[in-house]
Amino acid sequence: MRVILTTILERLGLAVLTLFIVSVLIFSSVTLLPGGFATAVLGQSATPETVAAFEEQIGLDRPATERYFDWLGGAVRGDFGNSYSSRPGSKRRVVDIIAPRLLNTLKLAGLTAAIAVPFAIFLGIITALWRNSWFDRVINAATLTTISVPEFFVAYVLILFLAVKFPIFRSLSTVRSHMGVAETLENLALPVLTLALVITAHMMRMTRAAIIGVLGSPYIEMAKLKGAPPLRIVLRHALPNALAPIANVVAFNLGYLIVGAVIIEFVFVYPGIGQALVDAVRTRDVPVVQACALLFALTYIALNLIADLIAIATNPRLLHPR
């Protein structure tokens, strides 16, 4: 138990250190971008005096190190400052901009994960049991095709067939707070289907490969000699020992649902955090860009930390040096 607790604390420390390094890179990269943020926000017709006054108002006249530690301290407290695109006399907090967008993205990601993760693991188990059969070849060909095709192309194909030629679903995923559950699910159908097709292929192939790799172990042969049915062998003996790579690929794809779904949100005009990032980049709204990038980094770090802990829990040999 002490070894496990020490390992968890070490991984948490590494996660915090990684997040700190990423925050430095985010702030430095955005700060070193060419062009003036005040000029981009106020327009080319702004006078130098107006630009200087605006920079003083938002704190751009201070040293970069001072601005970084102020931003980092606020981020730790959950306060990312005010948006640069706020109108004069009215300050709009970054949290108020990204919080509802993040909630929308979590809804989309949660619904997609609830469908795709069990389905992908189920397909991986079935194809591993029936490997080299016609079913296995068809599923592998379909998933390889899905992986090879860009997600925006999959989205446009689904829009063409399921929203234009056969108007089953809506092509625009507008979500508002007053919508009911049925209407919300109808609007989310196409982006959920697109994301599910993309991530199911990755997770299914990794699950299949991990289980097939474990099926060659001696204890699996012993279970076969004892007369255990194939499904029991996979579920009872192979799957628990293959959870480490499966957890890693699931964590990576869950991170993609939150971080990498920018293109899908843009295609379906979905008001998620990815769309907020695109809008902030277009308007040069630096605090929003920094907040979104830090949240994306935090998501990946947290999910990979969880995957590492699952791998350690399922394979205690990872606790000891080789």
| Shared domain check, 217 and 120 | yes
Helix pair angle (286-314, 2-31), 10° resolution: 160
Using the predicted structure, report yes or no on whether residue 218 has a pLDDT greater than 70: yes
**Reduced 3-state DSSP string for 292-309:** HHHHHHHHHHHHHHHHHH
Q: Which amino acid belongs to residue 9?
A: L
The residue from 64, 79, 94 where one domain ends is 79
Specify whether 116 is located in the same domain as 232.
yes
> Tell me, what CATH number does 147's domain have?
1.10.3720.10
Tell me, yes or no, whether 211 lies in a domain. Answer: yes
List pLDDT tens digits, range 157-183.
Answer: 889 898 888 888 888 777 776 777 777
Residue type, 245: P
241 lies in the same domain as 180 = yes
Phi-psi region of 164 (alpha: psi -120 to 50; beta: other; left: phi over 0): alpha
Task: Tell me, yes or no, whether 159 and 191 share the same domain.
Answer: yes
- Residue pair 107/177 in contact (Cβ under 8 Å)? The answer is no
Residues 153 and 278 in one domain: yes
* DSSP-derived secondary structure for 12-57: HHHHHHHHHHHHHHHHHHHHTSSS-HHHHHH-TT--HHHHHHHHHH
Residues forming beta bridges with residue 93, ordered by sequence position: 82
Torsion angle, alpha carbons of 163, 166, 168, 170, to 10: 10
Q: Of all residues in the chain, what percent carry a pLDDT higher than 70?
A: 89
Q: Is residue 8 part of a domain?
A: no
| 166 and 245 fall within a common domain | yes
The answer to whether residue 1 sits within a structural domain is: no
Q: Is the pLDDT of residue 9 over 70?
A: yes
Residue 90 lies in a domain: no
Residues 36 and 119 occupy one common structural domain: no
**Residue 147 domain-assigned?**
yes
In a domain, 191, yes or no: yes
Residue 203 is assigned to a structural domain of this protein: yes
**Least confident range of 2-11, 14-23, 188-197, 266-275:** 2-11
* Token code pair at residue 93: 């907090």
Average pLDDT of the chain is 82
CB 295 within 8 A of CB 26: no
Name the band, by pLDDT with cuts 50, 70 and 90, for residue 258: confident
Alpha helices, DSSP H, located in the chain: 2-31, 37-42, 48-58, 64-76, 94-129, 134-148, 151-159, 181-215, 218-225, 230-232, 239-241, 243-259, 262-267, 273-283, 286-314
Last residue of a domain, one of 79, 94, 114: 79
Asked if the structure places residue 60 within a domain, the reply is: yes
Question: Is 129 found in the same domain as 211?
Answer: yes
Residue bearing tokens 């399922």: 314
Which pLDDT does position 222 carry in this prediction? 85
The count of structural domains within the chain is 2
Q: Give the residue among 217, 213, 245 at the shortest CA–CA distance from 315.
A: 245
Please give the distance of CA 7 from its chain centroid, rounded to a whole number: 25
Q: Is 33 in the same domain as 107?
A: no
- pTM metric for this prediction: 0.81
pLDDT of residue 246: 85
What domain range is 37 assigned to?
18-79
- In a shared domain, residues 107 and 61: no
- Range with top average pLDDT, 4-13, 48-57, 93-102, 311-320: 93-102
Task: Return the pLDDT at 259.
Answer: 78
80 neighbors 74 (Cβ within 8 angstroms): yes
Express each pLDDT in 130-162 by its tens digit.
888 888 899 888 888 888 888 888 888 889 898
- Looking at residue 21, what is its pLDDT? 93
